[in-house]
Amino acid sequence: MTAETRKATDALIRPAIRDAVAQLGEELTEDSLREHIWPLFSRVLNRPNHPKLDRPEIYLANHSLGRPLDCTADDVMGALDLWYRDIDAAWGPWIEARDKFRALVAALLGVERADCIVPKTSAGQGLRAVLNALLKPDRPITIVATRGEFDSIDFILKMYADKGWAAVHWVEASDDQEGIPIYWSREITAAIKQHKADLLVVSGAFFSTGQVFDGILWKIAKEAKEAGALVLADLYHTVGIVPPVLDQGNPWVDFAIGGSYKYTHGGPGACWLYINPRHLDHENEPGALRTLDTGWFAKKDTFNYERTDTPLLAPGGDAWLESTPPILPIYQAMAGLELTVALQAGIGVRTRQYSLEQQAFMRDTFRAAGVPMFKPDPPAMFGAFSLLPHNNAAALSDALRTEGVNTDARGNCVRFGPDILNSREELELTAQITARVMKSI
C-alpha cells in the first residue's frame, strides 16, 4: 500500500479510535488493551451477570459473532438521524459511508483501489455474483472446492450443481494432526489440473479447524492461474486476524469474499466481494467478466436514467454493484472496521502476534488443568480460535454455556475464540470450569 493510500485511510479513522490505538505502543498487552481499548466496548463488557452466577458470561465465541463497540449504536442512529432530518438528501452521506466502507475493507486486505471492494449482504452473495459471471450456455462451470468450505458456500455450490449449472469436484482433507483434518496444496492443484477447472473455491482459513492457508493459498492460486483456473478465496476467517494479503503482494487471487460479523466487530449484513483489478476497467468490452447479479447502481451514469438497448456498465468495480444498496449494515460495520484497520496499521502483525500468544496461554492453562486441547503444529498455521477435541463436542459446548462460558462446536471439536477483550483471568477460570464440566459429559 502506498504512503498516500495509507494516509488517506488513516484520515478515515475517527479521532476517538485513532487516539486510543495510538496509546498502545508497538506490542499489544492485556494491560494496555484494558486501559485504552476496553473503554470503547463498555456496553458489551458490562453485561449483566449470568442468571445463575455472580459474574457475567465469559464470551469466547468471538470467531463466530464479534462484539460491538459502544459507538456502533451511535453510528446506526446517526444514519437514521440523517434520514429523519434530511429525508432524500440523506443519500449523499449514505453513499459516502458506503465508499468509506469499501476503502476500509480495501485497507484491511492491503488493496490499493477501494472500488475493487463491492459491498454484499453475505459472503454467499459474493460467491453467487462470481458464479453468475461465469455461467456458460453450453456446459456447467467446472469448479474445484474443498470439503472444508463453510456451510453457506458448500450449499450454494451444491445448488448450482443440482441445477446443472456447475460441476463441482470436492477435494478431501489430505492429512490430519491429532485427528484434525488438514488440507494441503497438492490435492487441490492436482484436482484443478485433472478437471481443467474454471474456478477454484477455497478458504484462506477453514471455519471448522482454523487451519490458515496463507502462503499455501498464494502458491495454489499461482498454480491455478497457470492452469487456467480463476480463484475465489473465502477470507472470512482471515480478515482482521492474519495481516493484509491481496493485491501487489499476492496478485493471483481473482476474487475474495468475507464480511464483518466476526473479527471486525461489525455485525451481520456487511459483507463484501473483492475483484482483482485485472478483471476491472474492461466492463463494456466483448468478453469482459460481467455478472448477472446486477441492478441500476451498476449502470453507467445511474442518475442520468438513460436506457440503452444493451447494458452499459459503470467503470471499474462499480460495474459489480447491484440494485439500491442497504445502508444501515454499512454504518453498523464502520467503527469495527476503523478499529481493526487502526490496530493493524503499519504493523499488521501485532494483532496476530497477540492472538497467537493469548491462545498459547489458553492452551497451556487448559493443559495444566488436565484438559488436552489440540496442539497445533506450527501454531501460526491456525487462526483465531483453538480446538478442544471431544466425542460429544456439541453437548460439551452446551454444558459450558450453562456454566457461563460461551463457545461453540463444529464436528468433533469445541471452538474457543478469545480476543482483545478477554482477560487471562477469564481464560484460567474457563480452564477450571471446562475440566469440571468434562467429567460429566
Ligand X SMILES: Cc1ncc(COP(=O)(O)O)c(C=O)c1O
233 Cβ partners below 8 Å, 6+ apart?
Answer: 202, 203, 204, 217, 221, 253, 255, 256, 257
Of 152 and 392, CB closest to ligand X: 152
- 132 touches ligand X by CB under 6 A: no
- 284 touches ligand X by CB under 6 A: no
Residue 185: φ, ψ to 5°: -75, -30
Q: Are 419 and 62 in contact (CB under 8 A)?
A: yes
Contact track, ligand X, 261-280, x by CB under 6 A? ----------x---------
- 150 touches ligand X by CB under 6 A: yes
> Binding residue for ligand X (CB under 6 A) from 259, 317, 404, 418?
259
Stretch that binds ligand X, among 39-47, 51-59, 136-144, 230-238 (CB under 6 A): 230-238
* Residue nearest ligand X, Cβ-based: 124
Of 110 and 329, CB closest to ligand X: 329
Least separation in angstroms between CB 152 and ligand X: 3
Stretch that binds ligand X, among 116-124, 181-189, 220-228, 344-352 (CB under 6 A): 116-124
Q: How far, in Å, CA of 38 to CA of 306, rounded? A: 51
287 Cβ partners below 8 Å, 6+ apart?
Answer: none
Stretch that binds ligand X, among 130-138, 139-147, 149-157, 340-348 (CB under 6 A): 149-157
Q: How far, in Å, CA of 403 to CA of 353, rounded? A: 30
279 Cβ partners below 8 Å, 6+ apart?
Answer: 254, 288, 289
* Paired residues of 169 in beta bridges: 144
Stretch that binds ligand X, among 84-92, 119-127, 318-326, 396-404 (CB under 6 A): 119-127
Contact track, ligand X, 152-171, x by CB under 6 A? xx------------------
69 Cβ partners below 8 Å, 6+ apart?
Answer: 40, 41, 265, 335, 336, 339
Q: How far, in Å, CA of 213 to CA of 253, rounded? A: 13
Residue 356 is given by DSSP the state H
Q: How far, in Å, CA of 61 to CA of 258, rounded? A: 18
Q: How many CB atoms lie within 10 A of CB 12?
A: 18
Least separation in angstroms between CB 129 and ligand X: 12
Q: How far, in Å, CA of 336 to CA of 420, rounded? A: 13
- 106 touches ligand X by CB under 6 A: no
Least separation in angstroms between CB 127 and ligand X: 7
- 237 touches ligand X by CB under 6 A: yes
> Binding residue for ligand X (CB under 6 A) from 57, 214, 234, 322?
234
Contact track, ligand X, 168-207, x by CB under 6 A? -----------------------------------x---x
Least separation in angstroms between CB 206 and ligand X: 7
Per CB under 6 A, residues contacting ligand X are 122-124, 150, 152-153, 203, 207, 234, 236-237, 259, 271
